[in-house]
Amino acid sequence: MNRTQATLADGREIFFYDDVPRTRTVHDTRDIVRPDGGSELRWDAYLGEWVAVAAARQHRTHKPATALCPLCPTTDERATEIPQDDYDVVVFENRFPSLAGGPELPLDKPEQALAAGEDLTALRHPGAGRCEVVCFTPEHTTSLAQLDPRRLRTVVDAWADRTAALLALPEVDQVYCFENRGEEIGVTLHHPHGQIYGYPFPTPRTARMLESARATRKATGEDLFARTLAAEQAAGERIISRTEHWTAFVPAWARWPVEIHLMPHRAVRTLPELSDAERDDFAALYLDILQRGDRLFGTALPYISGWQQAPASAGDTDFRLHLQLFSIRRAENKLKYLAGSESGVGVFINDIPPEQIAQRLRESGGTT
């Protein structure tokens, strides 16, 4: 791994990941300070979930002109968040984070407060955790789908390296590496980039998966994720593509018009555990899947794509690392907006049968 670590003018860390070894001298000449506000966690006593409140994010950069993009390389005329005239992949601390450090969050804090008779509507904690930005390329007008496999492999290595680093922090329990793409999704910076969140607790979706995994193990003695992968492979109708180390499929219960899971054949829990061969294989497969997505409706597919990784607190509970990509586009000129039942009570309604979208994705890439 070719990594250079440096510090930005306001004290935030920045990491350069190069495709090949390269010597970098990094000096941020800007006169900047971190925004005031910080973040706070508040307990939702109805759902048993933490909610982050981060007022400083209200002032984050919003749809700047290309000439003012903060993620492009620094030039003689303008200094950006990245104090180099060129780069491959860069990760740095978010200037407007949702989670902004703070003391470690005791995972049993809500139970302690309940047992002590405290007012749960007043249960709060400083916004422990960390938020980082990942820039995939210095090119402003490209996309992750247009990168070559070598660059995407560098991105995978950066995700894995930062996952290991964040999980080593006492205030981080789960790491989520993700990308939001497209204005339809709500993207406000068009430069190809993603984010990494280090949460101080197991996120709600992951916690539900862990509960299901425990129930499956107790009832059948089997691994829920291995069983699901085997069932999808056996059925075949929702498989998009299969390689030596990975299977890409549309889950039978897909909630979104386009929803794709990429799952490794080997039982690994986090990105750092992936072997070199698995990382190379993933880079090639993921590029293929992203390109199929862009051909699906004849336009760039808006999506959210993120790595589901096991929390440190999950212990030996069954969990399988996997990437989930989903899109709100349901037709060439139609988007899916959440209905009242979906937003209000969480019961999703999918307009496209998963088998149908899997077939279309297969056909969009030719021979699988």
Residue positions in the annotated binding site for Zn(2+)? 69, 72, 140, 191
Structure tokens, 357: 């979208």
Exposed, middle or buried by CB within 10 Å (0-12, 13-18, 19+), for 339?
exposed
CA distance 343 to 347: 8
Task: Round to whole Å and give the CA distance between 188 and 144.
Answer: 17
Q: Tokens for 322?
A: 């996997």
**238: number of CA atoms within 13 Å, CB side?**
23
In what helix (H) or strand (E) does residue 308 lie, and over which residues does it extend? strand 303-308
**Positive or negative torsion for Cα 254, 264, 89, 98:** positive
CA angle (110 as vertex; 106, 116 as ends), nearest 5:
110
How far is it, in rounded angstroms, from Cα 276 to Cα 283? 11
Q: Strands (DSSP E) along 47-115, which ranges?
A: 49-53, 89-93
Question: CB-hemisphere CA count at 13 Å for 185?
Answer: 18
Active-site residue identified among 125, 193, 261, 322: 193
What residues are designated binding site? Answer: 69, 72, 140, 191
Long-range (24+ apart) CB contacts under 8 A made by 104-110 are: 104/128, 104/170, 104/171, 104/200, 105/41, 105/50, 105/171, 105/173, 105/200, 105/201, 107/173, 107/201, 107/202, 107/313, 110/43, 110/45, 110/48
Examine the residue annotation and report whether 193 is marked as an active-site residue of this protein. Answer: yes
By annotation, the residues acting in catalysis are: 193
